[in-house]
Amino acid sequence: MKEAIDSGRLGKLVLGTFAVKWYRTQEYYDNGGWRGTWDMDGGGSLMNQAIHTVDLMQWLMGDVASITSHMDIYNHSIETEDLTASLVTFKNGACATFVSTTCAYPGLGTDIQVYGTKGSIEVDGDQLKTWRIEGEDDDKGKSMTDLYGEGNGSATALDPTLVVGHATQVEDIIDAVLYDHEPLIVPCDAIKSVKIANAIYESARTGKTVYFD
């Protein structure tokens, strides 16, 4: 998907839709005492569950120009939000909607969809659903969905214990320290996602659009 965008095969990017439609029980938040708190968790559905999709959005769509957001607590007794809804514009002229929630019973998928003037790609979690690019015949699209249409789907939308990537990240950081090499993810990359998340919170709290430099 990234290669198709960067190579220009989708044409000019127009629209993205990103939605983390997960579900968490009240017991999930009550367990441990840190979940759903600003001091210990740093945020709710956005900062905890959806931050990796924020990262994918900026990686695929480009640098952000502005964000207008709403957030609230709809279905849990917590300090932080359990739903955000944002309109994001990018410096390349494209726009996107971004949604995060832990209220989507019983735990649905993660939409990652990008549309350009010459093509559309739609993904749910790690499952490719649509691959249509101008100049590529239907067989090409079918071959792509045959190759990448299977995966773990929305499993982690309900059960957070199925996430295995954290161990890989921690091991990589330890190796970087022990053997003095660059980690897979460096701070200047990660900070982009944190800035976007903070802008979503700021816009939702103030009711104003947040503009990026």
Q: Which domains are assigned to the chain?
A: 2-154+190-211 (3.30.360.10)
Contact 123, 57 (CB under 8 A): no
Q: What integer pLDDT is reported at residue 156 of this predicted model?
A: 55
Q: What integer pLDDT is reported at residue 158 of this predicted model?
A: 59
Q: What integer pLDDT is reported at residue 163 of this predicted model?
A: 57
Q: Per the confidence metrics, is the pTM higher than 0.75?
A: yes
Q: Which pLDDT tens digits describe the chain residue by residue (213 residues)?
A: 999 999 999 999 999 999 999 999 999 999 988 999 999 999 999 999 999 999 999 999 999 999 999 999 999 999 999 999 999 999 999 999 999 999 999 999 999 999 999 999 999 988 999 999 999 888 888 888 888 888 654 455 556 655 556 788 899 999 999 999 999 888 888 899 999 999 999 999 999 999 999
Helix, strand, coil percentages in the chain from 3-state DSSP, rounded to 5: 40, 25, 35
Q: What is the 3-state secondary structure of 23-73?
A: ECCHHHHHCCCCCCCHHHHCCCHHHHHCHHHHHHHHHHHCCEEEEEEEEEC
Question: Closest Cα to residue 72, out of 62, 60, 85, 59?
Answer: 85
Q: What integer pLDDT is reported at residue 189 of this predicted model?
A: 85
Q: What integer pLDDT is reported at residue 169 of this predicted model?
A: 84
